[in-house]
Amino acid sequence: ANRSIHLIERAVMRLDGLVNAYRDLENAAADLIFPARVPTNLSALLRTSLPAYENILAAQGKRLVMAVDDGVVALASDELMEPVIENLLENAASCTPENGVIEVRLEPDGNEARFSVMDRGPGVAPELLSRIFNRAASFRNTPQSTEEHQGLGLWIVKRNIEALGGTVAARNRRGNGLEVVVRLQLAN
């Protein structure tokens, strides 16, 4: 009888652990689907995070050019925006040749904040443009892209921006290169 009680207690503890793990997973998903959107100073966030990327790019022989307007405050969150900035810059860097330039812009546009990252890489074949934000999509055709890419960076960007009620789109630049534009609702 004691052995049966012990087995039942262990099963209940395991089940309790599973329920807690499931609840944690659901809470994490809810946070992503309905994140707390608070006034977030994107200008300040970019000004504090971009210098580190500037150094990383300089070590790769690439240059970062910034045009960040002051006081652009959007409904967002630092936690979701940091991976957006990181993934957009890493994507642009991986497509930019040595001595190339990556441009970052932030400006108000109507009632939205417009954040864009531009490179002068090869761009994306027009028929693939609509798919670059898909999970596990990787369409790199650059000399530097010999290493394997999981294709999650732009998917994370899209997921985070849409969770914040914004939009993200990509287009080929005139000449060559890619521009990715993120739009978020301004807080004021």
CA-to-CA separations, 32 to 54, 80, 88, 124, 161, in angstroms, rounded: 29, 9, 19, 29, 10
d(CA 178, CA 66): 16
The reported pLDDT for the residue numbered 31 is: 58
CB atoms within 10 A of CB 120: 19
Instruction: Enumerate the β-bridge partners of residue 117.
Output: 104, 180
Helix (H) / strand (E) element for 6: namely helix 2-33
d(CA 83, CA 89): 10
User: Coil, helix or strand for 142?
Assistant: coil
pLDDT tens-place string over residues 7-47: 888 888 888 777 777 766 666 665 566 667 999 999 999 99
What is the CB-side half-sphere exposure of residue 28 using CA atoms within 13 A?
6
Match 């307007």 to its residue by tokens: 69
In this prediction, residues 118-129 reach a mean pLDDT of 89
Residue type, 167: T
The reported pTM is 0.76
| Pick from 105, 151, 146: nearest CA to 132 | 151
pLDDT tens-place string over residues 44-95: 999 999 999 999 999 999 999 999 999 999 999 999 999 999 999 999 999 9
